[in-house]
Amino acid sequence: MLLLTIESSCDETSAAVVRDGRQILSNIVASQVDVHARYGGVVPELASRKHVEAITVVIDEALEQAGVSLDDIEGVAVTRGPGLVGALLVGLSAAKAIAFARDLPLVGVHHIEGHILAALMEGDIAFPYLALAVSGGHTHLYHVEGIGRYRILGRTLDDAAGEAFDKVAKLLGLGYPGGVHIDRLAAKGDPEAISFPRPLLHKKNLNFSFSGIKTAVLNYVKSQPGPIEGAHLENVAASFQAAAAEVLCQKTLRAARETGLQRVVVAGGVACNSGLRRQMQLLAQKEGLEVHFPSPALCGDNAAMLAVAGDHYLSSGFRAPLDLNAVASWPLDRVGN
């Protein structure tokens, strides 16, 4: 099937054209980062307004870059949730309007489902596998039995991993979103310079906690006589990143041992982090795991990632009704398509 896919759950307006859930013909992402940067985080009302401004332009561009028109499209997949409800509604309304006007089948896809299946677009990965979803809003470990069959194994009890990167970046005076700034500085710093805590590391469960690491960085910053700059700043970034990555890696290893799963997919914006990629690859080599990271364009929010599930559901005959609503909160183990 040739699908048009639309994503607008947070601060990226994205549309893509994908064939058979795998072949990406276009994947346009319009980021609103500049709009939200001055507030140090996403402002929901501004996000909705910017989505409205961008949505038709982004869809037109996705069709044009793919070299197709709406006449060629055979189905529409859209992020239904979770996310900012006002933002989700913009993409969902556009998707429903196109589906109605063109009499096309429609499906609503779970945002995290998109993230954890994105790696399948770049190579075959056999089910079942373990998925570590790490983004600005999520830090979850899932047992992925197949498309539409997900079991939550663990989750963060407080901040999401990306949220922790963003908050630490903010208190270090870096830009928003902070993950990429921390990553860049950490590459030049010493990850062992400062010993930040590894919360829940030795607890016999698969949950995470990141607010303690963030508070430890805040206390460290406050304890310093002057501003943290230069090599010192690089060391703080590297030490924080090492602590966060170690917790993510060790909990993933524990999950692999407990479930017997050998294949691991790391997904979401934080999967771009070079320290996490390096630590996870080393661990995989040592422990005999097979680890997959989508390429950076498929890690962050993008519409193409919705096509794997979207194509599967539509090809199996599923059709969403045109009164489909957005859902701000939607547990992945209850996708129910």
Piece of the chain touching ligand KG4 by CB under 6 A; list 92-100, 160-168, 203-211, 224-232: 160-168
By beta carbon distance, the residue nearest Zn ion is: 135
Piece of the chain touching Zn ion by CB under 5 A; list 68-76, 133-141, 170-178, 234-242: 133-141
Is residue 113 close enough to count as binding Zn ion by CB under 5 A?
Answer: no
Is residue 183 close enough to count as binding Zn ion by CB under 5 A?
Answer: no
User: Contact at 8 Å (CB) between 193 and 239?
Assistant: yes
The correct pick among 13, 26, 135, 337 for binding ligand KG4 (CB under 6 A) is 135
State the minimum distance, in angstroms, from the CB of residue 104 to ligand KG4. 26
The enclosing H or E element of 114 equals helix 111-117
Collapse the DSSP code of 79 into the 3-class scheme (helix H, G, I; strand E, B; otherwise coil) and give the result.
strand
- What is the secondary structure of 130-187 as a DSSP string? EEEEESSS-EEEEEEEETTEEEEEEEBSSS-HHHHHHHHHHHTT--SS-HHHHHHHHT
Is residue 166 close enough to count as binding ligand KG4 by CB under 6 A?
Answer: yes
The correct pick among 14, 135, 279, 302 for binding Zn ion (CB under 5 A) is 135
- What is the secondary structure of 187-243 as a DSSP string? TTS-TTSS----TTTTSSSS-B--HHHHHHHHHHHHHSSS---HHHHHHHHHHHHHH
| 180 interface partner picked from ligand KG4, Zn ion, none, CB below 5 to 8 A per type | ligand KG4
The correct pick among 75, 81, 108, 300 for binding ligand KG4 (CB under 6 A) is 300
Piece of the chain touching ligand KG4 by CB under 6 A; list 90-98, 171-179, 197-205, 308-316: 171-179
Is residue 301 close enough to count as binding Zn ion by CB under 5 A?
Answer: yes
Is 197 exposed, middle or buried, given 0-12, 13-18 or 19+ CB atoms closer than 10 A?
middle
Task: Name the nearest CA neighbour of 131 among 228, 56, 206, 31.
Answer: 206
Q: Which residues bind Zn ion (CB under 5 A)?
A: 135, 301
Q: Which residues bind ligand KG4 (CB under 6 A)?
A: 10, 135-137, 162, 165-166, 177-180, 183, 268-270, 272-273, 300-301
